[in-house]
Amino acid sequence: MPFRGRISVEGCCVVNESTEVFFRFLGERSFTLDPILCTLNLFGRELSIRWYGALIAFGFALAVLFGGRQVWKGFLQSSRLQKYSLPKWRASLDGILDVLFGGTICGIIGARLYYVAFQWDSFSGDLLQIVNIRAGGLAIYGGLIGGLIGAFAICRLRGVSFRKLLDLAGMSFLIGQGFGRWGNFVNQEAFGGNTTLPWGMRSEKTVQFLAANPQAGVDPNGFVHPTFLYESLWCLLGVALMYLIFRKAYHFPGQIFLCYGIWYGAVRFFVEAVRTDSLFFAGIRVSQLVSGAMVIICTLLLVLGLLKHRKKIPLYPGTIDNL
């Protein structure tokens, strides 16, 4: 079946800006995806806003609102329960903002450097492309590593509890990842191998990628797993589960982040096994290795933490039961 897409010319290169997407359950019907959300004219120059960046920004905004809400509730509570030595979800607003901005910047840098490190052949000939993140190329684990390093440093400088912040970050990460993964759908990237399932996906971009990167047992013209969808739904389900644990079974600072590591690591381990664009090192899928290690380590630490802290602790001093 022929594909149709909007074509633009940049210099001497023809660039396909949009693509038709087919799903098996829709039969011959399709719809067109354009990676550009809108184009603005700023001071005589056109600036394209892409769906990829917009969706990541939307997920980030929701994550910030959720985390900020929890900090705000703790920040305004009294310290009547202080005599019980219970943790108080509070920090100075300035300190939290410093952690947010610093952690975000370090996260973006880490995500890009992680991706570039394992795709160096694609960037060694044009180093300026390293800073071109609008078309994709951000690795989640690199973002987590960079963000956590930045957040830890700033927490130490500003006197913010790092472990308590991690618990908020775990739930916020799932919100951001759940919505941000749809940026991969618009770009038609981060998909899996062939599938006969009803939600199997196919587009000109999946065909082009698989034809340019042949893999054993994968038909470039076949329908593929929309792995972005699997990960997105799992993350959003995880938000509800983590919040339930957060509200009803919170035993120690850092618990929710360990649950996040288990939950996200599990889905990424299995999703990575079917993805066609995995980053490899010495023949091993890097993200699958990291995911497996994260699940094991977080599970051990969670079990040890729960054995040590058997009693639940309140979240907000003075108003435990109110949201």
- Start-to-end CA distance of the chain, whole Å, equals 53
**Does the predicted model carry a pTM greater than 0.85?**
no
- H or E element at residue 229: helix 227-248
User: How much helix, strand and coil, in percent to the nearest 5, is found in the chain?
Assistant: 55, 15, 30
Torsion angle of C-alpha atoms 129, 139, 136, 232, degrees rounded to 10 = 180
> How many Cβ atoms from other residues are within 10 Å of residue 58's Cβ?
16
The Cβ-side half-sphere exposure at 75, using a 13 Å CA radius, reads: 13
Given a cut of 70, whether residue 322 has pLDDT beyond it is: no
Domain that holds residue 123: 51-308
Residue 202 CA to residue 24 CA, distance in Å, equals 8
> How many Cβ atoms from other residues are within 10 Å of residue 140's Cβ?
22
Has residue 9 been placed in a domain? no
Q: pLDDT band for position 136 (50/70/90)?
A: low
Has residue 63 been placed in a domain? yes
State residue 74's pLDDT score.
65
Has residue 114 been placed in a domain? yes
Given a cut of 70, whether residue 93 has pLDDT beyond it is: no
Total domains, the chain: 1
Torsion-angle region of 235 (φ positive above 0: left; ψ -120 to 50: alpha; else: beta) = alpha
Has residue 190 been placed in a domain? yes
* Beta-strand relationship, 30-33 and 280-281: unpaired
What are the Cα distances from residue 297, in Å, to 199, 239, 258? 34, 21, 9
State how far Cα 263 lies from the chain centre.
13
pLDDT digits (tens, 9 = 90+) for 145-193: 999 999 999 888 887 778 888 998 899 899 999 998 998 899 898 899 9
